Amino acid sequence: MALFRRSKYIKVNVSKKKDMPGGLWTKCNDCGEIIYNKKLEENLFVCPKCNFHFTIGIKQRVNSLLDKNSFKEFYGDLRTLDPLNFKGPKAYLDKLAYDQKLTSLSEAAVVGEGSINKKKAAFAFTDSRFIMGSMGSVVGEKITRIIESATQARLPLIIVSGSGGGARMYEGLISLMQMAKTSAALARHAKEGCLYISVLTNPTMAGVLASFSSLGDIIIAEPRALIGFTGPRVIEQTIRQKLPKGFQRSEFLLEHGLIDMIVHRKELRDNIFRLLDYLS
């Protein structure tokens, strides 16, 4: 008998499949592999299939590079003001408050001193999750102060950059001044014969690259990191030409002599220690 002519329908009990708990898996942005989060964390947030390097925060950077409990933060009490009283679609102070809550950071940069295999050094980290790691007055001031502190103590300096925002235009000319200020501090550091290692992560762009990030005695980049002043799409639209394959990626820059090394995140600590041991 046809189903819809039946006077009664058979009731079938279908048990619902238990929902998978959220937050256990992450999809790789490059190859699409589904990765168990614990495995991803153990692999320093690098895809085990294609070696795609996920964006990580400052806390993970410190834990992966420095000796345990060796990092001492400096100048953490500095706070950003709103010199232009910037409103726009979202007020600057509101954006700061949102990113502070999102990242648990007061600003896009954290600086201080620590050690790698008991080799003492000064460190600075920028976090692309905080207004794209852009450099405003406080970021520039923190980085300048740690450079000056390293110069005075004759310590090697390591800056790990992750900035897709360059100079922070919410602060106008004040943000652009930080490019010259950080560069001048690095010139004094170099004059004293102190070592500076710059580590570029995905992305490192614009005013940050055009200042302290590109001035290292040794410039290291993570694999396939986007590194440049202006994004590839903007350049293509401006010059109306197709850019070479891999343009502005770490591998392209290494081939053309703009960086010195490409180092996998799992090997970064050991490589930096060898440089410190040999050069400082």
CB 110 within 8 A of CB 63: no
Average pLDDT over residues 94-107: 90
Show the tokens assigned to 175: 């943000």
Tell me if 112 sits within 8 A of 71, measured CB to CB: yes
Q: Encode pLDDT of 145-191 as tens digits.
A: 999 999 999 999 999 998 877 888 888 889 999 999 999 999 999 99
Q: Which of the listed CATH numbers 3.90.226.10, 1.10.10.10, 3.30.310.50, 3.40.720.10 matches domain 55-279?
A: 3.90.226.10
- φ, ψ dihedrals at 132, nearest 5°: 55, 30
pLDDT tens readout for residues 124-154? 999 888 888 889 999 999 999 999 999 999 9
- Distance of alpha carbon 216 from alpha carbon 198, whole angstroms: 5
Domain regions of the chain by residue span: 23-54, 55-279
Please report the sign of the dihedral spanned by the C-alpha atoms of residue 58, residue 59, residue 65, residue 70. positive
pLDDT of 16 over the 60 cut: no
In whole angstroms, give the CA distance from residue 91 to residue 172: 14
- Banded model confidence at residue 4, pLDDT cuts 50, 70, 90: very low
- Quickly list DSSP for 173-222: HHHHHHHHHHHHHHHHHHHTT--EEEEEEEEEEHHHHTTGGG--SEEEE-
The pLDDT-based confidence of 41 (bands split at 50, 70, 90) is: confident
- Is 93 within 8 Å of 134 (Cβ atoms)? no
Q: CB-hemisphere CA count at 13 Å for 37?
A: 6
CB 28 within 8 A of CB 52: yes
